Amino acid sequence: MVKYESIFIADPASTDDEMSLLLKGFEEAVTAGNGKVLKVERWGKRRLAYRVGKHEDGNYTLLYLECPPAAAHELERRYRMNDRVIKYLTVRMDRSIPEEQPAGSGTVPEERPAEAMEAE
């Protein structure tokens, strides 16, 4: 199984119930492909960096997944098919899922050059 990080931005006019149904459908797509959703972070409504179509705001949701590549492709296909999804991005993760840190903890994750990560 491969770990993925997937974020999608939904229509800001969506209610919490509609967002829950949308998220449930995406989770079902992953589990139907023999994968599992490890973590879901709902960031809520935020301003977009630039206007996308007629939208200036969007509901952000981040998913951490562990699934075969076919399930990730199916998830992206469902993103494309859904009119409520404005933008999406799914990337393969080469590191573990970040744990939540208390706000203002002052710790910054260590940055390493890509060559050092490939050597591991």
What are the backbone angles phi and psi of residue 101, rounded to the nearest 5°? -105, 145
pLDDT in tens, the chain (120 residues): 889 999 999 999 888 899 999 999 999 999 998 999 999 999 989 998 888 888 899 999 999 999 999 999 999 999 999 989 999 999 998 766 666 655 555 555 555 555 555 555
Show me where the domains of the chain are located: 14-94
pLDDT for the residue numbered 2: 87
pTM: 0.73
**pLDDT of 89:** 93
Task: Tell me what pLDDT residue 14 has.
Answer: 86
CA-CA distance, 51 to 44, in Å (whole number)?
17
For 75, the token pair is 């998830």
What DSSP character marks residue 84?
Answer: T
Q: 9-36 b/e with 16+ CB inside 10 Å = b? A: bbbbebeeeebeebbeebbebbeebebe
In CATH, what number does 14-94 get? 3.30.70.60
Indicate the residue type of 32: A
